Amino acid sequence: MRKLLLAVTLSSAAVAMADTVYIDNSMAAATRSDTEKYEERVSVGPYVEFMNVKADNVNYSYKVNNRKYDITVDNTYLYGAAGNLPLNDWFGFYAIAAYQYLGIHYEDRDLERAYKAQEALEIEYDGWNVPVEVSDIKGRHQMHIVLIQFGFDVGVPLVASYNYQFMTKLFLAGGVITGKTFFQNDSKYLAPALWGYGYSAGLRIAFHAVTLSGGVRNSHEYFHTYYERPISDNKDGDEFMLDFDTYFQPFVNLSIALF
């Protein structure tokens, strides 16, 4: 009996003198919460805008040697990458870097007279350094454009679940457009800078680190250029100005959170 009492006493003393290990979980992120909401994160990913430039929405001025021309415009979709920088649930910034192709078919409004005038110049200049060539009367420009768009967006979260890491949000966005054009084929025109603006409305859906945004976008683009070596007495005699709008163009952006 004494041995049993002694064993119990020693065991109790050992427990009392042992160090206590305490784990503090107060700073650990909660896996579930009834008060927290899903927070948008900085994200980036591919962007496509299904742009279609319509003739009714194109204004232009195309002249060579003070002769007026008609043009038609065709284009590809807009391909690039987009990124979002949310500041809070309601406001943030966006940026888009994209590529655009424009095909410009041009021809003198009076082809018969234009070709006769060109033949006269061939004789006058004896075929050397003729200011207006046959290809200047009727032809096609192929333009490659690098675009940068940046601005802000405002939105209203419809669902923002922390527990399911899910969000849906209606948003409006608007910003400025700038870019640089490049002529693929030889052109006597200088490659101009491009300017404009765009605004859009859409729906953004996020699940964990993946965000899908889509909607419609309106935009305005403009450039104005002149011959590198003018052949007219006045600068505006050899000009190319293009000013067009696009309306309700669908777009989609799939992005991944960076952190």
Digitized pLDDT (tens) for each residue of the chain, 259 residues in all: 444 444 444 444 444 444 444 444 443 445 666 667 788 899 999 999 999 999 999 999 999 999 999 999 999 999 999 999 999 989 999 999 999 999 999 999 999 999 999 999 999 888 888 999 999 999 999 999 999 999 999 999 999 888 788 999 999 999 999 999 999 888 899 999 999 999 999 999 999 999 999 999 999 999 999 999 999 989 899 999 999 999 999 999 999 999 8
For the chain, domains (ranges, CATH) are 42-257 (2.40.160)
Residues in CB range of 19: below 8 A, 6 or more apart: none
Q: 18 φ, ψ to 5°?
A: -70, 150
Contact 152, 174 (CB under 8 A): yes
**pLDDT for the residue numbered 247:** 97
**pLDDT for the residue numbered 35:** 62
pTM of the complete model: 0.82
Estimate the share of the chain in helix, then strand, then coil, as percent rounded to the nearest 5: 15, 55, 30
